[in-house]
């Protein structure tokens, strides 16, 4: 199944699709994006959009360019400090709420990927489990969020090259785990995550399913 525009079209008003990326990595922020297609999704653009996890980096880049040409986009993020303070779930909700609030005009409805929604929003919020696979607006948000966060980690990688963030975006790859054991965590690591704590302490596995 590919994402479609049925939910947005059925509402008939200004609908935002919202998604986040970055819950699982050991380092870096969580990034959320809200996307509104005020004139619908152009036929040339719709085939480019899918769940960001199903696309290659080149496909995401091409889709992101097309989305930016026909959609309104707002980005929200939660820092590592906020992730440490709030926990990753609440930090993700904070990032999504910020994205919605940063839209030029408040939507009439926000379609949020997952089963939890941010509170205090200027519009009704509808949770959509697996929404990035069914809603074009949510899938578009997932693409922009992934591209945005990957670029942020690429910039950080220039300052912290041994962690390999230019390739792993902060996820727990073997190279990243080995660098944590050898060099310890940076200030951009999520120190509260069990994997980071274990690897920084010299644990050879550093496995924590909760991360």
From first to last of its 211 residues, the chain has per-residue pLDDT tens of 799 999 999 998 999 999 999 999 999 999 999 999 999 999 999 999 999 999 999 999 999 999 999 999 999 999 999 999 999 999 999 999 999 999 999 999 999 999 999 999 999 999 999 999 999 999 999 999 999 999 999 999 999 999 999 999 999 999 999 999 999 999 999 999 999 999 988 765 444 433 3
In which residue are the tokens 């008939």 written? 12
Listed in order, strand segments (DSSP E) in 68-157 are: 72-78, 109-113, 125-128
The yes or no reply on domain 6-156 and CATH 3.30.420.10 is yes
Q: Check residue 202 and give its pLDDT.
A: 75
Q: Check residue 203 and give its pLDDT.
A: 61
How many whole angstroms separate alpha carbon 48 and alpha carbon 29? 26
Q: Where in the chain is the domain with CATH 3.30.420.10?
A: 6-156
Q: Check residue 151 and give its pLDDT.
A: 98
- Candidates 137, 126, 142, 145; CA nearest to 5 is 137
Task: Please say whether the beta carbons of 131 and 17 come within 8 A.
Answer: yes
Q: Check residue 204 and give its pLDDT.
A: 53
Task: Please say whether the beta carbons of 46 and 193 come within 8 A.
Answer: no
| Size (the chain), residues | 211
- Give the CA radius of gyration of the chain: 18
Task: Please say whether the beta carbons of 126 and 110 come within 8 A.
Answer: yes
Task: Please say whether the beta carbons of 32 and 95 come within 8 A.
Answer: yes
Q: Check residue 209 and give its pLDDT.
A: 35
Q: Check residue 211 and give its pLDDT.
A: 35
What is the dihedral sign for C-alpha 117, 122, 124, 126? Answer: negative
- Candidates 63, 59, 67, 75; CA nearest to 37 is 67
Q: Check residue 200 and give its pLDDT.
A: 83
How many whole angstroms separate alpha carbon 35 and alpha carbon 73? 5
Q: Check residue 208 and give its pLDDT.
A: 42
């Amino acid at each position: 199944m590919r994402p479609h525009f049925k939910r947005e079209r059925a509402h008939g008003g200004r609908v935002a699709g919202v998604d986040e990326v970055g819950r699982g990595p050991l380092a870096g922020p969580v990034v959320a994006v809200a996307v509104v297609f005020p004139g619908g999704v152009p036929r040339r653009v719709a085939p480019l959009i899918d769940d960001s996890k199903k696309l290659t980096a080149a496909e995401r880049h091409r889709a992101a360019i097309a989305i930016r040409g026909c959609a309104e986009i707002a980005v929200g993020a939660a820092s590592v400090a906020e992730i440490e303070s709030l926990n990753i779930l609440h930090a993700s909700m904070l990032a999504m709420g910020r994205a919605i609030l940063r839209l030029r005009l408040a939507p009439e409805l926000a379609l949020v990927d997952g089963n939890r929604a941010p509170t205090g929003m200027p519009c009704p919020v509808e949770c959509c489990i697996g929404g990035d696979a069914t809603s074009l607006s949510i899938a578009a948000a997932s693409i922009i969020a992934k591209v945005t966060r990957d670029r942020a980690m690429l910039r950080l990688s220039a300052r912290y090259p041994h962690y390999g963030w230019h390739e792993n975006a902060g996820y727990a790859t073997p190279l990243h785990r080995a660098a944590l054991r050898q060099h310890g965590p940076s200030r951009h690591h999520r120190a509260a995550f069990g994997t980071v704590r274990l690897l920084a302490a010299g644990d050879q596995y550093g496995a924590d399913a909760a991360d």
